[in-house]
């Protein structure tokens, strides 16, 4: 049974308990940040920040509204990162989670450059790509992802995807009936369905989401036409990384 996360932005109060719980459960260190004026902290996804709450201030007549978004891996069905990975390090689990096997990752960065949502980080120390795992370890133990368990307003829900879609559709209808015609469900059809879905109160762009995400043509071409060459590509990239490491080590040795 495919699992998903449903984020209802109409219930989000931007407390960032989800960010804190993600850091704590995954033992991700804090980042040194500076105040930028829009209250976002940190300001971008990184190898040690796998999800973050976004703030967008919008003027509505003489009033000001806040749009609180949530940026993280979308766990796409049609996942560009999986298609371009030359090492076969990125795959879907039975629950629909897009998972990175760090033991297979060769640090080529192709997944980062092809992700339509730009939600992957690269760990330069370990030379691996990293991102939201949907707390696969917790899910495999029958638990909710840490962000969902920590959310005080039930804005982040986890469960069977089909059930969450029904809940989301009912919520959208309620929001529209209460005077918000722009309310919509995001993630049901995008990229053949995403594992992270949203109940939005306005356009996706207001929440840091592309209106019509697409897998880059180059990624699709690689996935369909050049997959037989993956072994060759892996060897070539691995050799290049090894050679670069050797040169760097030699240079450092001379400096000493």
Tens of pLDDT along 110-124?
Answer: 999 999 999 999 999
HSE-up of 176 (CA within 13 Å, CB side)?
13
pTM beyond 0.75 = yes
- Cα distances from 247 to residues 124, 149, 196, 226, 240, in angstroms, run 17, 47, 42, 30, 11
End-to-end CA distance of the chain: 57
Q: Which domain holds residue 188?
A: 1-248
Q: Is residue 241 part of a domain?
A: yes
What's the total number of domains in the chain? 1
* Residue 254 located in a structural domain: no
Whether residue 130 is contained in a domain is answered as: yes
**DSSP codes joined into one string, 104-141:** T-----HHHHH-TT---EEETTTTEEE---TTHHHHHT
Q: What is the pLDDT of residue 255?
A: 45
CATH of the domain at 131: 3.30.70.20
Confidence band of 223 (pLDDT split at 50, 70, 90):
low
- Greater confidence (65 vs 171) lies with 171
Closest among 90, 47, 75, 73 to 230, alpha carbons compared: 90
**Mean predicted confidence (pLDDT) in 49-60:** 92
| Residue 245: pLDDT over 70 | no
- pLDDT-based confidence at residue 250 (cuts at 50, 70, 90): very low
Q: Residue 39, SS3?
A: coil
Domain-located, residue 10: yes
The stretch 72-94 carries a mean pLDDT of 96
pLDDT of amino acid 232: 56
Q: Give me the percent of the chain exceeding a pLDDT of 90.
A: 75
Query: Phi and psi at residue 246, in whole multiples of 5°?
Result: -65, -40
Q: If you average pLDDT over residues 145-154, what whole number do you get?
A: 98
Look at residue 237 and tell me if it is in a domain: yes
SS3 98: strand
């Amino acid at each position: 049974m495919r699992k998903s996360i449903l984020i209802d932005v109409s219930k989000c109060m931007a407390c960032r308990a989800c960010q804190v719980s993600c850091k704590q459960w995954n033992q991700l260190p804090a980042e040194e940040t500076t105040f930028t004026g829009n209250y976002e902290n940190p300001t971008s996804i990184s190898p040690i920040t796998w999800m973050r709450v976004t703030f967008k201030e919008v003027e509505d007549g003489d009033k000001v509204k806040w749009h609180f978004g949530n940026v993280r891996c979308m766990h796409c069905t049609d996942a560009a990162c999986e298609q371009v990975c030359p090492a076969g390090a990125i795959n879907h689990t039975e629950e629909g989670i897009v998972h990175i096997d760090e033991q297979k990752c060769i640090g080529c960065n192709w997944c980062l450059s092809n992700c339509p949502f730009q939600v992957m980080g690269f760990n330069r120390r370990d030379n691996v790509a990293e991102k939201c795992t949907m707390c696969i370890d917790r899910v495999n133990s029958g638990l909710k992802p840490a962000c969902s368990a920590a959310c005080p307003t039930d804005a982040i829900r986890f469960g069977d995807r089909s059930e969450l879609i029904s809940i989301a559709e009912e919520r959208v209808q309620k929001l529209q009936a209460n005077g918000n015609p722009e309310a919509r469900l995001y993630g049901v059809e995008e990229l053949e369905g995403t594992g992270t879905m949203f109940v939005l109160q306005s356009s996706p762009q207001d929440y840091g989401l592309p209106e019509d995400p697409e897998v880059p043509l180059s990624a699709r071409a690689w996935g369909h036409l050049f997959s037989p060459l993956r072994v060759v590509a892996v060897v070539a990239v691995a050799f290049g990384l090894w050679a670069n490491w050797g040169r760097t080590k030699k240079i450092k040795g001379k400096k000493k």
